[in-house]
């Protein structure tokens, strides 16, 4: 994924590789009035996600600032603005190559309009309002047991405090299910593989009628239709649920994934979260 920003006197090219939520590499090529640098920054998806929303806000309101920083290390690129639509960029980049340390301090400004395509290309990184954090096409995580879904959802949601609860059949106590999912309407129904009891989870009832749910087959082993399922809740400060994550594990090959996650826009959420 490459993102470009260009004005008469300043250019910046960012190349982002997201392999894992806390281990991403950002390749940077920067030219400020003839002073240039080419280097790498370690970042994590959460930082980068914050940067995207900050720079979008800066572009729209000319208020605040947006910064790319390293969790360890001191490289940075910072954007700010004034009321008349000037964007200011400044920062510090450095690299060691073959034992030689080099660094660049830079400061420049350009018109707000130069940000437009940069910001809109960065926004494409988002899917359904949420930044893609794990490249699912390259990397499959597997778990030995249903309990591993908790750890997976913790990393996937990037919220250490995520509250994860297993889905257990109310009729027979079994913990594997067939899943019917519609990723457009954000609805999921589980069907116990032992006794056949069906349940539409959480608040999905409301949207079930308009949905076109499909029975899911594991995309890795291509044969299994049985999953362990957990739901993860991230919460607002007052304790109500802000975002719901469905975590699933193929009972045949152990592949972990999240077929669905969605935002909760209402309160209270007590009733909704007990419906599992
Ligand atoms: Zn059952
Ligand atoms: Zn599988």
Residue pair 213/199 in contact (Cβ under 8 Å)? The answer is no
Same domain, 51 and 175: no
Looking at the CA of 177, name the nearest ligand. 1
Whole-number Å distance, alpha carbon 36 to ligand 1 midpoint, is: 63
Same domain, 7 and 123: yes
Q: Does a structural domain hold residue 19? A: yes
Whole-number Å distance, alpha carbon 198 to ligand 2 midpoint, is: 21
Whole-number Å distance, alpha carbon 172 to ligand 1 midpoint, is: 4
Whole-number Å distance, alpha carbon 216 to ligand 2 midpoint, is: 11
pLDDT of res. 13: 96
Same domain, 150 and 247: yes
Q: What is the mean pLDDT of residues 69-83?
A: 90
Q: Print the domain residue range for 124.
A: 2-131
Whole-number Å distance, alpha carbon 135 to ligand 1 midpoint, is: 34
Same domain, 72 and 167: no
Looking at the CA of 168, name the nearest ligand. 1
Q: At 264, phi and psi to the nearest 5? A: -105, 120
Q: Does a structural domain hold residue 191? A: yes
Same domain, 61 and 168: no
Distance of CA 70 to the CA centre of its chain: 18
Same domain, 259 and 199: yes
272: Cβ contacts below 8 Å, ≥ 6 apart: 202, 203, 241, 264
42: Cβ contacts below 8 Å, ≥ 6 apart: 23, 24, 25, 26, 70, 71, 72, 73
Q: Does a structural domain hold residue 249? A: yes
Q: Mark the residues whose beta carbon lies below 5 A from ion ligand 2.
A: 218, 220-221, 224, 250, 252-253, 255
Whole-number Å distance, alpha carbon 177 to ligand 1 midpoint, is: 9
More confident residue, 103 or 70: 103
Same domain, 9 and 115: yes
Whole-number Å distance, alpha carbon 36 to ligand 2 midpoint, is: 48
Q: Does a structural domain hold residue 194? A: yes
Distance of CA 62 to the CA centre of its chain: 25
| CATH number for position 35 | 2.30.31
Q: Does a structural domain hold residue 136? A: no
**Separation of alpha carbons 208 and 158, rounded Å:** 29
**Separation of alpha carbons 133 and 18, rounded Å:** 7
Same domain, 123 and 160: no
Number of domains in the chain: 2
Instruction: Indicate the residue among 98, 131, 164 that finishes a domain.
Output: 131
Same domain, 152 and 218: yes
Same domain, 187 and 224: yes
Instruction: Indicate the residue among 97, 131, 165 that finishes a domain.
Output: 131
Q: Does a structural domain hold residue 241? A: yes
Q: Which pairs count as long-range contacts for 6-10, CB under 8 Å and 24+ apart, including other chains?
A: 6/114, 7/108, 7/110, 7/111, 7/114, 8/110, 9/33, 9/108, 9/110, 10/89, 10/108, 10/110, 10/114
Looking at the CA of 216, name the nearest ligand. 2
Q: Beta partners for 27?
A: 15, 40
**What is the C-alpha end-to-end distance of the chain, expressed in Å?**
38
Instruction: Indicate the residue among 131, 152, 167 that finishes a domain.
Output: 131
Q: Does a structural domain hold residue 230? A: yes
pLDDT of res. 61: 94
Looking at the CA of 197, name the nearest ligand. 1
Report residue 250 as tokens: 């193929």
Whole-number Å distance, alpha carbon 134 to ligand 1 midpoint, is: 32
pTM for the full predicted model: 0.53
What does the pLDDT look like over 233-270, one tens digit per residue?
999 999 999 999 999 999 998 888 999 999 999 999 99
Q: Does a structural domain hold residue 104? A: yes
What does the pLDDT look like over 89-148, one tens digit per residue?
999 999 887 788 899 999 999 999 999 999 988 877 643 333 444 334 335 677 778 888
Same domain, 209 and 91: no
Same domain, 200 and 256: yes
Whole-number Å distance, alpha carbon 183 to ligand 2 midpoint, is: 19
Report residue 273 as tokens: 């979260």
Whole-number Å distance, alpha carbon 249 to ligand 2 midpoint, is: 8
Q: What is the mean pLDDT of residues 225-238?
A: 96
């Amino acid at each position: 994924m490459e993102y470009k920003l260009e004005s008469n006197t300043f250019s910046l090219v960012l190349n982002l590789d997201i392999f894992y939520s806390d281990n991403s590499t950002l390749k940077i090529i920067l030219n400020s009035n003839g002073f240039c640098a080419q280097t790498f920054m370690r970042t994590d998806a959460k930082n980068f996600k914050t940067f995207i929303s900050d720079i979008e806000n800066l572009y729209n309101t000319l208020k605040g600032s947006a910064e790319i920083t390293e969790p360890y290390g001191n490289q940075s690129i910072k954007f700010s603005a004034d009321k008349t639509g000037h964007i200011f960029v400044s920062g510090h980049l450095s690299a060691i190559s073959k034992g030689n340390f080099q660094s660049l301090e830079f400061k420049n400004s350009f018109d707000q309009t130069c940000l437009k395509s940069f910001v809109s290309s960065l926004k494409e990184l988002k899917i359904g309002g949420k930044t893609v954090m794990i490249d699912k096409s390259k990397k499959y995580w597997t778990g030995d047991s249903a309990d591993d879904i908790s750890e997976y959802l913790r990393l996937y949601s990037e919220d250490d405090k995520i509250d994860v609860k297993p889905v257990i059949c109310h009729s027979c106590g079994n913990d594997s299910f067939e899943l019917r999912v519609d990723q457009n309407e954000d609805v999921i129904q589980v069907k116990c593989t032992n006794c056949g009891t069906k349940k539409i989870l959480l608040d999905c009832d409301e949207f079930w009628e308009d949905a076109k749910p499909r029975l899911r087959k594991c995309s890795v082993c291509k044969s299994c239709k049985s999953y362990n399922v957990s739901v993860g809740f991230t919460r607002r400060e007052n304790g109500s649920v802000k975002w719901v994550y469905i975590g699933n594990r193929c009972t045949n090959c152990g592949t972990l994934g999240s077929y669905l996650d969605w935002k909760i826009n209402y309160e209270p959420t007590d009733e909704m979260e007990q419906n599992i």
